[in-house]
Amino acid sequence: MKTLLNKFKQFFHPISATTAMSVPSLPVTWLSGAVSLTLRPLVVADLNQALAIERDVYDGKTPWDRLVFMNELSRQQDRLYLGLFTADDLLVGFIGAWFSNNETHVTNIALRRSWQQQGWGQRLMGYLIAVASARGCRIMTLEARVDNKNALALYRRLGFRDVRIRKNYYEQEQADAVSMRLELNSITKKNA
């Protein structure tokens, strides 16, 4: 456990042994058939690829611009942004979150369209859930577009529950969002 905490030093605050779950240290390599992807922290040099993924996923728009991403990456004490990369360093997806006391909020998750529906989003979410539990967080929250059926199905499979509809949450598109919540205590107890 000490090695894990040292590797995540910029992301973790001290946690108690009773709330800690095993979280593999980064980088992590995941295999699926002949495909091997590596999970590692995003850095500023990855932003062009992250912005390209956003344009791909959000029909030419980028909800977050470069400055927002740079600000998020600079806040390592309470933010975590991870990228999923091929062997030739192509970013195929990423996930981000902030941590506050006992809560983790998923700020962003996106996969290139050609990499969706293959289980990679579930792996990203699973890793973040493990990190949040290891940090001692009790809840995880997120928002998803009401019309993003695949994302909503994934989050519900992972145990997230609908909290409320947020009207015009995505202002540019005038689209509503579903606020969702996962009780991490129940996840920790299941894995104990």
> Predicted confidence band at 16 (pLDDT cuts at 50, 70, 90)?
very low
Distance CA 103, CA 88 (A): 35
8: containing domain: 2-138
Residue-level pLDDT at 65: 87
Which amino acid would we find at residue 184?
L
Two structure tokens written together for 122: 């579930």
In terms of Cα–Cα distance, which of 190, 37, 60 is closest to 120? Answer: 37
Q: Who wins on pLDDT, 19 or 151?
A: 151
Per-residue model confidence (pLDDT) at position 62: 63
Into how many domains does the chain fold?
A: 1
Residue 146 forms part of a structural domain = no
pLDDT of residue 71: 93
Residue 116, domain CATH = 3.40.630.30
183/161 Cα distance (integer angstroms): 9
What would the DSSP string read from start to end of 47-63? HHHHHHHHHHHTTT--S
Q: Could you tell me if residue 143 is inside a domain? A: no
- Give the per-residue pLDDT at 7: 36
pLDDT in tens, 99-134: 998 999 999 999 999 999 999 999 999 999 999 999
H, E, C per residue of 70-130: HHHHHCCCCEEEEEEECCCCCEEEEEEEEEECCEEEEEEEEECHHHCCCCHHHHHHHHHHH
Rounded to two decimals, the pTM is 0.82
Residue 191: inside a domain: no
Does the residue 172 lie in any domain? Answer: no
Residue 61 covered by a domain: yes
DSSP class of residue 150 equals H
Q: Which helix (H) or strand (E) holds 28?
A: strand 28-32
The 8-class DSSP code of residue 27 comes to S
* Chain centroid to CA 157: 16
Mean pLDDT computed over every residue of the chain:
84
Which pLDDT score, from 0 to 100, does residue 10 have? 33
d(CA 17, CA 12): 14
- Per-residue pLDDT tens over the stretch 46-76: 999 999 999 888 876 667 889 999 999 999 8
With H, G, I as helix, E, B as strand and everything else as coil, classify residue 163. Answer: strand
Q: pLDDT band at 20, cuts 50/70/90?
A: very low
